Amino acid sequence: MSDENKPQESETPEVPAAPKPAAPKPAAPKPVAPGAGLKPVAPGAMKPGAPVAPGAGLKPGAPVAVKPGAPGAPRPGAPVAPGVAKPAGAAAPAAAAKKEEEAAVAANSGVSRREFLNYVWGASIALFLAQFGGLTFFFAFPRFRPGQFGGKIPASVADIPELNKPPHANDVGKFWLVNTDQGVNVLYKICTHLGCIYPWSDAAGIFACPCHGSQFQLNGDYVAGPAPRALDKFKFEVLDADGNVLATSPDDGTAISLPSGAQTILVNTGLKITGKSHF
- Residue 1 is predicted with a pLDDT of 47
Type and span of the H or E element at 169: strand 168-170
Do 132 and 217 reside in the same domain of the chain? no
Cβ atoms of residues 176 and 265 within 8 Å: no
pLDDT recorded at residue 98: 78
The answer to whether residues 264 and 174 belong to one domain is: yes
pLDDT tens-place string over residues 135-165: 776 666 666 666 667 889 999 999 999 999 9
Shared-domain flag, residues 159 and 199:
yes
Read off the pLDDT of residues 32-42 as tens digits, 9 standing for 90 and up.
555 555 555 55
- What domain range is 246 assigned to? 152-273
Return d(Cα 52, Cα 184) in angstroms, integer: 126
Asked if residue 232 and residue 200 are part of one domain, the reply reads yes
How far is C-alpha 211 from the geometric centre of its chain's CA atoms?
A: 50
Domains of the chain: total: 2
Same domain, yes or no: 245 and 158: yes
In a domain, 218, yes or no: yes
pLDDT at residue 176 greater than cutoff 80: yes
Q: Any residues with CB less than 8 A from the CB of 265 and at least 6 apart, and which?
A: 154, 155, 156, 157, 159, 160, 177, 184, 186, 236, 237, 238, 239
Helix residue ranges per DSSP H, the chain: 91-109, 113-140
Question: What are the residues facing 151 on neighbouring strands?
Answer: 149
Are 234 and 124 found together in one domain? no
User: Which pLDDT band holds residue 102 (cuts at 50, 70, 90)?
Assistant: confident
pTM over 0.75: no
Q: Is residue 191 part of a domain?
A: yes
- For the chain, the first-to-last Cα distance in angstroms comes to 185
CATH of residue 197: 2.102.10.10
Give the separation between CA 145 and CA 187, rounded to whole angstroms.
Answer: 21
Task: Report if residue 257 sits inside a domain.
Answer: yes
- 3-class secondary structure, 14: coil
Q: Is residue 265 part of a domain?
A: yes
Average pLDDT over the chain reads 77
Count the Cβ atoms, other than its own, within 10 Å of residue 183: 15
Asked, for residue 268, whether it belongs to a domain, the answer is yes
Q: Find out whether 184 and 222 touch, Cβ atoms under 8 Å.
A: no
Judge if 234 and 122 occupy the same domain.
no
Question: Among candidates 209, 150, 162, 160, which has minimal Cα distance to 186?
Answer: 160
Let me know if residue 244 belongs to a domain. Answer: yes
Is there a single domain that holds both residue 191 and residue 267? Answer: yes
Bridge partners (DSSP) listed for residue 154: 266
Choice between 109 and 97, residue whose per-residue pLDDT is larger: 97
Cβ density class 21-33: b for 16+ within 10 Å, e for less: eeeeeeeeeeeee
Identify whether residues 123 and 205 lie together within a single domain: no
Give the pLDDT confidence score for residue 2 in this predicted structure.
Answer: 47
Q: Does residue 167 share a domain with residue 134? A: no
Would you say 142 and 150 are in contact if contact means Cβ atoms under 8 Å apart?
yes
